[in-house]
Copies of this chain bind each other. A is one copy, B any other.
């Protein structure tokens, strides 16, 4: 499955967010890979809209596998101050990711239309 999620970075901290994500800890990178986060990218708009795209077997399972790692807890704690406040101040950034509905998939529809 392919998953798109959104969150919000504080606009004043966009440069800081960009800087930190240009050099994510190797241990965090390896944890994501081991947890089955494939073809994973993050995109940022000037107003702070953050969009993630990832391919995985199941997003809840992929998140659960990351939640079991110690490095993810450390990473999310360090990033928390960069995000817009959520209703629950104790919530880690990755717990606040809002998943969007996939409404179009070119390859699926091409396959259904018989045009392989």
A73 proximity list for chain B (CB < 8 A): none
- Stretch in contact with the other chain, from A14-22, A58-66, A86-94: A14-22
Q: How far, in whole Å, are A110 and B106 apart by their CA atoms in the complex?
A: 28
8 Å CB contact of A29 from B22, B33, B51, B106: B106
Is the beta-carbon distance between B106 and A26 smaller than 8 angstroms? no
Is the beta-carbon distance between A6 and B45 smaller than 8 angstroms? yes
Instruction: Count residues of A near B (Cβ-Cβ below 8 Å).
Output: 38
Is A103 at the interface (CB under 8 A from chain B)? yes
Q: How far, in whole Å, are A101 and B45 apart by their CA atoms in the complex?
A: 6
Q: A42-B104, A44-B100 are in contact. List 7 more A-B contacts (CB 8 A).
A: A6-B51, A26-B115, A29-B109, A32-B106, A39-B107, A43-B103, A45-B101
